[in-house]
A and B are shown apart, each in its own frame.
Chain A
Amino acid sequence: MVASRSESAAVEAVAPGLGIRRGRPSVYWRALRGLRRDPFAIAGLIVLAIALGAAVLGPYVSPYDPVDQDLAARLRPPFWQERGALAHPLGTDNLGRDILSRLIYGARVSATVGLTVITLGAVFGTAIGLCAGYFGGKIDNLIVGIVDIVLSFPGLLLALTVVAMLGPTITTVILALSMRGWVVYARVARGQALALSKFQFIEAAQSIGAPAPWVLARHLLPNLLPSIVTVAVLELARMVLAESSLSFLGLGVQPPGISWGLMLAEGRNYMLTAPWLVTLPGVAIALTVLSANIISSHVRRLVDPFQQGRGDGG
């Protein structure tokens, strides 16, 4: 029931334009070249690169050990405020821990959770959706049914329930978010596979006796990959938000672990006297999520022929 509407939209979206030919300048190349004319997307890429760099290089770039307490230097404000100092450029929390170092280590959790969940989800969901759309029939009905059930699970509750049962760790957070994370890819892949299978090049492949796995992998997959990449970038934004929400609610990363959402939860009790404890981690989350959303809409504009020439900004 949920799938039917998006499906017709996906069919419409895929049918006309289509970079079906291979060996020509690909949509990815066009997306990269188009970047030059889109300053917002460049800014987004830079932000994501910084976040990823912080995540990978964490121990080498962070000025302090993020769990080191210095009670003499508690609740120091960032350097641009009165009483602030460059020794702790973004200030310290209620235990005297360096905020900048904690933000850098928090990026590791966001990147680990976000990238793992979208990878698992994209691989699993695309495979499932491709099979559903290509084979149709009973397999399709079964998969659409499962997708509808998972989608009807309200909001964060599915992830929260899984984490509450298994106990909050990074692994269970990843598992919990993946349980819903694959569904989007499955719907997109199914819709596109359904539309693409009506094209003659698929019929041609079938008529020369190409086995189904070959048709799926060589003919269908490359054509729906751009949509999957677009969805994956969008999902990265949603997963970073979801992880921080879980950690904020106390059903995600646990202390002494570090996550942006957890930093906000910990800073809450001091926010009236030390507002930077909630503003800074929130800025980190918002910039990361916004960048991913901007890049996703940039890519979508280039991939979806209906969106072209509309003068979309941002």
Chain B
Amino acid sequence: MGAFIARRGLMAVLVLLGVVALVFVITRTFADPARLMLPIDAREEDYRQLRRQLHLDEPIPVQFGRFLSGVARGDLGDSFWQRLPVVDLVVQRLPATLSLALTSIVLAALISIPLGVAAAARPGSWLDRTIVSGSLVGVSVAEFWLGLLLIVFVAAGLGLLPTSGYGTPAHIILPAITLAARPIGRITQIVRSSMLDELARPHVTVARAKGLSERTVFYGHALKNAGIPIITLGGLEAAELLAGYTIVVETVFAWPGIGQLGVGALVNHDLPLIQAVVLFGATVVVGANLLVDVAYAYLDPRLRHASA
């Protein structure tokens, strides 16, 4: 088990290195970042000074090495847009994104698990068809559209909730619902299909033969065993939300999280901040995948010896 974790951990670090290298290549070779950051009529010496300041006059591998040694010291440079250390900026925005992502995923789990179980209880029935169609709608709706509709019709129309902003618990409701739509659709589908697999197994027949109530059979026996794929998907969805899938929703609701920070960094061509935001998101994604792999290996010893 230790060797397995070490091997997977090493791979995760390599993947992260690859992501950072990809950011370096895109931000430095696709265009000249110094030109993008300066006004069009900037003087040539200002341009040269900015390049020196950003170390853009060095070869990319040298810049990459400089960045990595910074990562080791916990220093990813200063933002050019906000004139603050980028690590501080990301950390400062973390609570907003974290609270939004967690609320959404809890909401999604609370809604989608009963729906998926109900659909699996009577496959082919009108209830099942409605839930399956509804889950497709959930994954098809554009987040920014759903968000704007909620603002127009719920926040402004009914005057119930604030249209945007951050601070009170009431502010989180609409963005969380918006963000939960896609995970609800996806988790409902996986709950339904893993429940269908599980309900066909002998142990469910035994449970029924013992005279247990359908409720106990569904939630106590079938759902428990169908849990692994559901928890996997739920965990990965949560990681995705945290890693930057909140960008659009944060923009719609003026939610001061990492997604908005990332958009600001991109629009201002703020290289150190772009790198920090991407590194943060990639770490969350890679970390979640690593956790899932380790959990799988813990539950199923055969996987520990499979080729990496």
Query: Do A164 and B282 contact each other (CB < 8 Å), given the known contacts A1-B290, A145-B14, A314-B129?
Result: no
Point out the residues of chain B lying under 8 angstroms from A164, CB to CB. Answer: 266-267, 269, 274
Asked if residues A154 and B144 are in contact (CB atoms below 8 Å), the reply is no
Asked if residues B263 and A249 are in contact (CB atoms below 8 Å), the reply is yes
Point out the residues of chain B lying under 8 angstroms from A248, CB to CB. Answer: 142, 144, 248, 251
Partner of A154, one of B130, B196, B243: B243
Identify which of A155, A245, A285 gathers the most chain B CB atoms within 10 Å of its CB. A155
Among B16-24, B42-50, B59-67, B205-213, which stretch is in contact with chain A? Answer: B16-24
Query: Do A278 and B148 contact each other (CB < 8 Å), given the known contacts A152-B285, A249-B263, A313-B128?
Result: yes
Q: How far is the CB of A48 from chain B (nearest CB, A)?
A: 13
Among B26-34, B83-91, B166-174, which stretch is in contact with chain A? Answer: B26-34
Point out the residues of chain A lying under 8 angstroms from B290, CB to CB. Answer: 1
Partner of A152, one of B15, B133, B156, B232: B15
Partner of B140, one of A150, A153, A290, A310: A290
Point out the residues of chain B lying under 8 angstroms from A245, CB to CB. Answer: 142-144, 248
Identify which of B15, B145, B269, B285 gathers the most chain A CB atoms within 10 Å of its CB. B145
- Residue A293 is within 8 A (CB to CB) of chain B in the complex: yes
21 cross-chain CB contacts under 8 A: A146-B18, A149-B18, A152-B16, A152-B19, A152-B285, A153-B281, A154-B285, A155-B247, A157-B262, A160-B247, A161-B26, A245-B248, A271-B148, A282-B142, A282-B145, A286-B142, A290-B136, A290-B137, A290-B140, A294-B136, A313-B129
Given known contacts A155-B281, A248-B248, what 9 new A-B pairs fall within 8 Å (CB)?
A149-B22, A154-B281, A166-B30, A237-B140, A244-B142, A245-B142, A289-B141, A293-B139, A314-B136
Q: Tell me the dominant secondary structure on chain A's binding face.
A: helix
- Size class of the contact patch on chain B: 35 or more
What is the 8 Å Cβ interface bit string for chain A, positions 54-69, against chain B (1 contact, 0 not)?
A: 0000000000000000
- Residue A34 is within 8 A (CB to CB) of chain B in the complex: no
Complex Cα distance, B103 from A146, in Å, reads 33
Q: How far is the CB of B86 from chain A (nearest CB, A)?
A: 15
What is the 8 Å Cβ interface bit string for chain B, positions 180-221, against chain A (1 contact, 0 not)?
A: 000000000000000010000000000000000000000000
Q: Please list the residues of chain A having a beta carbon within 8 angstroms of any beta carbon in chain B.
A: 1-2, 4-5, 40, 145-146, 148-158, 160-162, 164-167, 237, 241, 244-245, 248-251, 261, 264, 268, 271-272, 275, 278-279, 281-282, 285-286, 289-290, 293-294, 297, 310-314
Asked if residues B15 and A149 are in contact (CB atoms below 8 Å), the reply is yes
What is the 8 Å Cβ interface bit string for chain B, positions 278-298, against chain A (1 contact, 0 not)?
A: 100110111001101100100
- Residue B11 is within 8 A (CB to CB) of chain A in the complex: yes
